[in-house]
């Protein structure tokens, strides 16, 4: 009896292994079917393009902020190599100049279109969605053609692709095929008959070109956009990216005029200067057609206008006070106030005007109102540096001067006495993480 029982158990085990093997084989076949795309034949020479088409491509590229991710060295535009940090590893942008060996010099318009709409390289391998093809899939073909003309007429630069540094198993490209099944759609941006032509143009610019929601909308655990929380705030390069709707943490309301100025220059009255990843966006939008940026501001402002009016310290800016004697965290607040007086007050207490060399009073700084402190920590540590040769606001970084204890104390003090908000939890952990 015992021997017969062992035979039955071995038989059950073999059958289970057989079914598992069959399931694994089927899954592999499905993965290959999802992933596989044929290589497209290279072109011998790029076609000639009308100057007007190339000029349009330049405007489209500026709206798409292509240079922000595909340029590391301003002297070598679009040569790639920019590290894009994701929860799944680091993806390096590629060379999109018309170099025949390392760029897209051998790409036909068909290959370029496939990459933009499907996230597939000319040789058939899937591209990681750090490249926002899930937005570009919605582009009008005339804009795709203009982009192709623009990039194929840039100076060719030899710049081999850097190897991506992905955490296992996310370096397995078949997974991208499954991601595409969940999140890739080529449905065009459809006009809303209830809105103005400018608003509808702004919707197209925001979604298909500027891909604003890629950063301003939270991600799911699989890295796809959580469309149920559209514009609820997200993250980029370890910066918190504010919500652009009723959940906006902005201490003062945005006007459409101020939003247009901010998108073009990185600065607007009563609002903090652009820092971190937003700097690259502004640098590109500065070169875009002003009418398109105006439309973008109109569209985004329609969401920001949903934010309720808040009675915040931003409405009564002035010098930040010393901590109250009965503050339950008095020692840390005193240290934070001391750091503020020594490092911040000289510029920020003076307030900012259009031509002054001083800075925004900190009650108006949105980073103090964010739901987490990452952006404030980056600003304190790294400052704001304009691109080489560009006139723009500048803030020194204090990462080499302040200790972790001082940075934590300053952030806690600014949050409580600048924004009038409870101190963020786990500040010490966030500061340590910011150093990494």
Q: What is the CATH number of the domain that holds 421?
A: 1.10.760.10
Q: Do 136 and 95 share a structural domain? A: yes
If pLDDT is split at 50, 70 and 90, which confidence band does 24 have? very low
Q: Do 378 and 347 share a structural domain? A: yes
| Number of domain units in the chain | 3
Is residue 378 assigned to a domain?
Answer: yes
Beta bridge partners of 85: 90
Q: Do 61 and 175 share a structural domain? A: yes
The pair of structure tokens assigned to 166 is: 């992905």
- pTM of the complete model: 0.88
Question: Does pLDDT of 132 surpass 70?
Answer: yes
Long-range Cβ pairs for the range 210-219 (8 Å, 24+): 210/63, 210/64, 210/65, 210/281, 210/285, 210/296, 211/64, 211/65, 211/132, 211/135, 211/136, 212/244, 212/296, 212/300, 213/135, 214/132, 214/135, 215/241, 215/277, 216/241, 216/242, 216/243, 216/244, 219/87
What integer pLDDT is reported at residue 186 of this predicted model? 86
Is residue 26 assigned to a domain?
Answer: no
What integer pLDDT is reported at residue 423 of this predicted model? 96
What integer pLDDT is reported at residue 171 of this predicted model? 84
Domain holding 122, by residue range, is: 51-183
Q: Do 107 and 66 share a structural domain? A: yes
Q: Do 374 and 352 share a structural domain? A: yes
Residue-wise pLDDT for 275-303, tens only, equals 999 999 999 999 999 999 999 999 999 99
Residue-wise pLDDT for 90-102, tens only, equals 999 999 999 999 9
Q: Residue 266 region, left (φ>0) first, then alpha (ψ -120 to 50), else beta?
A: left
Q: Do 260 and 150 share a structural domain? A: no
If pLDDT is split at 50, 70 and 90, which confidence band does 30 have? low
Q: Do 400 and 355 share a structural domain? A: yes
Is residue 355 assigned to a domain?
Answer: yes
Measure the CA–CA gap between 39 and 133, rounded to whole angstroms: 18
If pLDDT is split at 50, 70 and 90, which confidence band does 114 have? very high
Tell me the CB-side half-sphere exposure of residue 5, using CA atoms within 13 A: 2
Is residue 16 assigned to a domain?
Answer: no
Listed residues 284, 304, 324: the one ending a domain: 304
Q: CB-based burial of residue 338 (10 Å sphere; 0-12 exposed, 13-18 middle, 19+ buried)?
A: middle
Listed residues 252, 287, 304: the one ending a domain: 304
Question: Does pLDDT of 373 surpass 50?
Answer: yes
pLDDT mean across residues, the chain: 90
Is residue 42 assigned to a domain?
Answer: no
Query: What percentage of the chain has pLDDT greater than the value 70?
Result: 89
Q: Do 294 and 175 share a structural domain? A: no
What integer pLDDT is reported at residue 80 of this predicted model? 96
Measure the CA–CA gap between 248 and 270, rounded to whole angstroms: 15
Is residue 17 assigned to a domain?
Answer: no
Is residue 425 assigned to a domain?
Answer: yes
Question: Does pLDDT of 337 surpass 60?
Answer: yes
Q: Do 127 and 59 share a structural domain? A: yes
Question: Does pLDDT of 29 surpass 50?
Answer: no
Q: Do 375 and 300 share a structural domain? A: no
Question: Does pLDDT of 21 surpass 60?
Answer: no
Listed residues 261, 286, 304: the one ending a domain: 304
Q: Do 388 and 328 share a structural domain? A: yes
Question: Does pLDDT of 17 surpass 80?
Answer: no
Q: Do 401 and 321 share a structural domain? A: yes
Is residue 23 assigned to a domain?
Answer: no
Question: Does pLDDT of 1 surpass 80?
Answer: no
Which of 57, 65, 73 is CA-nearest to residue 132?
Answer: 65
């Amino acid at each position: 009896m015992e021997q017969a029982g062992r035979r039955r158990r071995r038989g059950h085990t073999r059958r289970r292994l057989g079914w598992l093997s069959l399931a694994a084989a089927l899954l592999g076949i499905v993965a290959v079917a999802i992933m596989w795309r044929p290589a497209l034949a290279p072109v011998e020479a790029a076609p000639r393009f009308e100057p007007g088409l190339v000029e349009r491509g330049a405007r489209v590229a500026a709206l798409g902020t292509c240079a922000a991710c595909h340029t590391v060295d301003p002297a070598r535009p679009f040569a790639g190599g920019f590290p894009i940090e994701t929860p799944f590893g680091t993806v390096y942008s590629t060379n999109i100049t018309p170099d025949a060996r390392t760029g897209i010099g051998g790409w036909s318009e068909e290959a370029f279109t496939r990459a933009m709409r499907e996230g597939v390289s000319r040789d058939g391998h899937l591209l990681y969605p750090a490249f926002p093809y899930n937005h570009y899939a919605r582009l009008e073909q005339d804009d795709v053609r203009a982009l192709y003309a623009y990039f194929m007429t840039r100076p060719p630069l030899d710049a081999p692709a850097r190897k991506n540094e992905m955490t296992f198993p996310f370096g397995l490209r078949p997974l991208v095929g499954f991601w595409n099944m969940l999140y890739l759609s080529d449905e065009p941006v459809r006009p809303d008959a209830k809105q103005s032509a400018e608003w509808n143009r702004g919707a197209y610019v925001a979604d298909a070109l500027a891909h604003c929601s890629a950063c301003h909308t939270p991600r799911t655990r699989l890295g796809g956009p959580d469309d149920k929380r559209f514009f609820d705030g997200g993250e980029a390069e370890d910066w918190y990216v504010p919500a652009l709707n009723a959940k906006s943490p902005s201490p003062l309301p945005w006007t459409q005029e101020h939003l247009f100025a901010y998108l073009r220059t990185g600065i607007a009255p009563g609002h903090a200067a652009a820092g971190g990843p937003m700097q690259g966006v502004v640098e590109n939008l500065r070169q875009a057609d002003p009418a398109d940026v105006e439309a973008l501001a109109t569209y985004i402002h329609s969401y920001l206008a949903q934010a309720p009016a808040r009675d915040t310290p931003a409405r009564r800016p002035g010098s930040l006070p010393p901590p109250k004697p009965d503050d339950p965290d008095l020692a840390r607040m005193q240290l934070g106030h001391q750091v503020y007086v020594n490092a911040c007050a000289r510029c920020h207490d003076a307030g900012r005007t259009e031509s002054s060399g001083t800075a925004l009073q900190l009650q108006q700084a949105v980073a103090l109102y964010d739901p987490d402190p990452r952006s404030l920590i980056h600003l304190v540590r790294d400052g704001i540096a304009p691109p080489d040769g560009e006139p723009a606001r500048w803030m020194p970084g204090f990462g080499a001067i302040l200790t972790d204890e001082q940075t934590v104390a300053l952030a806690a003090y600014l949050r409580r006495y600048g924004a009038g908000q409870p101190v963020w939890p786990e500040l010490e952990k966030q500061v340590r993480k910011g150093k990494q």
